[in-house]
Structure 1
Amino acid sequence: MLAAIWAQDEKGTIGKENRLPWHLPNDLKFFKQMTEDNTIVMGRKTFEGMGSRPLPNRQTIVLTRDKGYRAKGVIVFHTIDEVLDYAKTFAGITFIAGGSAVYEDFLPYCDVLYRTVIHHIFDGDTKFPTVAWDDWTLINLSEGSKDEKNSYDYQFETYQRKVAAD
């Protein structure tokens, strides 16, 4: 199964200078909980923005056009088809985890979307691509509120792709 997972602000901002423009521990915890023992796919810039280190207890795939790119502890793919072929044979969930162009490339193939909406507007340089929300059904919504560790109200949303009528 292929799924996308991301956090965004109220205007769709997902990044600034290849990093998250916020610190929201509960979203990081959610990301870890969802992706552990699965695979995450990200572009080279996103991977390098995380310090060029694979996350523990996950298989990391870095998608790049650079045929000579190497990074320790990850699989490097160069095409969408390589990732799709991998996802077909992987028993768990293959999560698309950024950046914007990678999300845009894989949205047509995703079965599920996991979106965290942070109820704030941040300064950023990267937006999540446009989603055809009519193709999706909201199947879970969980509200989160700010506390001593989380500076913003937020919500976790799960969407499932609608099945096309015959």
Structure 2
Amino acid sequence: MITFVWAEDENGLIGSKGNLPWHLPADMQFFKKVTLTGDVVMGRKTLESIPNPPLKNRKNIVLTSKHDLDFKEGVICHSKKEIMEEVKHSKKPLHVIGGVSLFKLFIDDVDMLYRTVIHDSFEGETYMPEIDYSEFELIEEEEGTVDVKNKYPHTFQIFKRK
């Protein structure tokens, strides 16, 4: 099973200068809860945005065109075929966590979507690729709690491909 796990603002923005444009600990907890169930695959820039890689207790797979990337804590792949070969015997989900090119690469293969919508608008330049939500069914939705640490209204959504 292949999943997408991401957060976006109400305009579909997912990044600003290689980072998240917001601070929302509840989303980080949701992300961790989901991704601990399987392996994660990310692009090199997403890897570089993680404060202390690798993501713990998960196989970290990085797709990159660079052949000199030093990432001994994970698996380096140079194609979708290599990624699929790496996980072919795994019974765990493969969680695609970004960036945009990886979401585009797996858009026709994704089975589940784990989306956090932040009900605010931010500045940035990186947007989630368009997803045809008519191909998916919303199976779970939960409003996040706004508090001192989580100052933006947000909603956690889970979609399953029809």
Q: Is the 8 A contact 1:2 1:87 kept in 2?
A: no
Equivalent AA in structure 1 for residue 133 of structure 2: W
Work out the CA distance in 2 between the residues paired with 1:88 and 1:154. Answer: 35
Report the 3-state secondary structure (helix = DSSP H, G, I; strand = E; otherwise coil) of the residue aligned with 1:45: helix
TM-score after normalising by structure 1: 0.93
Partner of 2:31: 31
Corresponding position of 1:49: 49
* Identical residues among aligned pairs (%): 40
Q: Which structure 1 residue ranges, 4+ long, deviate > 3 Å from structure 2?
A: none
d(CA) in 2 for partners of 1:37 and 1:112?
Answer: 13
1:1-166 to structure 2, matched below 5 A, reads 1-51=1-51, 53-162=53-162
Structure 1: gaps spanning 5 or more residues: none
Distance 2:140 2:86 in 1: 27
Q: Secondary structure at the residue paired with 2:107? A: helix
**TM-superposed deviation, 1:145:** 2.9
CA offset digits 1:46-92 (Å, max 9, x no partner): 10111461011111001001122221301000001122233332111
Q: Secondary structure at the match of 2:122?
A: coil
Q: Structure 2 CA distance, aligned partners of 1:40 and 1:21? A: 22
Q: Which amino acid aligns with 1:93?
A: P
Paired with 2:159 and 2:117, the residues of 1 have a C-alpha distance of 13
Q: Distance in 1 between matches of 2:52 and 2:156?
A: 27
Query: Normalized against structure 2, the TM-score is what?
Result: 0.95
Q: CA–CA distance in 2 between the matches of 1:160 and 1:117?
A: 17
Measure, in 2, the Cα distance between the counterparts of 1:52 and 1:46.
Answer: 12
Cα pair 1:2 1:96 within 8 Å, conserved: yes
Give the whole-Å Cα distance in 2 for the aligned partners of 1:155 and 1:33.
15
For residues 18 and 148 of structure 1, the distance between their equivalents in structure 2, rounded to whole angstroms, comes to 25
